[in-house]
Amino acid sequence: MNSRRDFLQKLGISALALHLAPLSGWTASKNNVEAPYEGRVLRVAIMGLGSYGTRVAEAMQSCVKAKLVGVISGTPSKIKDWQSKYGIPAKNCYNYENFDSIKNNPDIDAVYVITPNALHHGMVLRVAKAGKHVICEKPMAINAKEGQEMVDACKKANVKLLVGYRMHFEPKTLEVIRMRNSGEFGKILFFQGQCGFKIGDPTQWRLNKQLAGGGSMMDIGIYAINGSRYMTGEDPVWVTAQETKTDPEKFKEGVDETIQFQFGFPSGATASCLSTYNMNNLDRFFLDGEKGFAEMWPSTGYGPIQGRTHKGELTQPVTTHQTVQMEEMAAIVFDNKQPVVPVNGEEAVKDLKIIEAIYQAAKTGSKVVISL
């Protein structure tokens, strides 16, 4: 096992098995057969056929409201493989040079951009100009200015801009949010988010400032940032941060290895978080209130999310995150469904502004005021 990410990926496979297992003992009858879905299906082309693009494609095979119908890639061999595996017609296959012509393809409703971070901005602008809805992986851009330009471009083109915040649809996460909203934790006092793993290949794009826009904060730290917001139900108003770098050869200038950061919220609640590319066994959220607590561990990984509160273990069903995400996003696009926690471009711009404030606080050693 090379990293915790490998472990989480294996857990993801187990999660899918757990999710599907109950179906094997199910017996059809007139009383328990659900009516087949007859609404519109979101027809999606995936841009970027790497490991996460593959994970999304596999998860979409279980969707009823969304369907993989196209691909965009700079690697012809990958396009050929995906065509064969997923039955994608040649007319729905594009490369990075010609995909603007997707505007003339009525069989594609949306493009899911799953490329390195620095490419998101330009690709999303082109997809919006082509008149297609956009789903973009997080972080949505490498800075808030680019992020806002993406939001504005999609609004101008009258297309939806959604971001791959899969945890916003995860059942145990939503149960904790429901409990907080109903006052079961009382006044929220403190949040702790620990996110990290020991990254491998030093030549990968995630360790390239030009492609990633940073280091661990742009990849794994954003989970703690976003998690602090949906777990407390507030946006932070100040941040302090400290950066630690033990391997400057692997983590070059502008590529953060480990950052600890602390938030203050309008209510007086505080948060203490960690983002790292140099430690395993970190994927934990803890929320403390005057009347109770919630702990999630694993809190954001691909494998089964586990958690407990002062009332006992969380028992909501295990799901395949990307399957649920795509089903819900189809409802957002076609039915204007409003999720419990937003997954729109405005939500992503907030996270980008917070990331910029964290970097500034780590660099200056000063408390930085956050204005969202």
What residues are annotated to the active site? Answer: 138, 223
Cα distance between residue 192 and residue 297, in whole Å: 12
Residue 282 pairs with which residues in a beta bridge? 196
Per the listing, tokens 């780590």 go with: 362
- Can you give the length of the chain in residues? 372
Give, in degrees to the nearest 5, the angle at Cα 226 between 221 and 232. 125
Read off the DSSP letter of residue 218.
I
| Residue pair 275/220 in contact by the 8 Å Cβ criterion | yes
Instruction: Choose among 42, 33, 36, 86: nearest CA to 65.
Output: 42
For residue 18, the surrounding DSSP H or E stretch is helix 4-20
Give, in degrees to the nearest 5, the angle at Cα 212 between 222 and 50. 95
DSSP 177-202: HHHHHTTTT-SEEEEEEEEE-----T
Take residue 214 and report the two structure tokens written for it.
């940073």
Cα distance between residue 8 and residue 18, in whole Å: 15
Instruction: Choose among 32, 42, 33, 36: nearest CA to 70.
Output: 42
Cα distance between residue 312 and residue 372, in whole Å: 35
Chain center to CA of 333 = 18
66-72/93-94 β-pairing = parallel
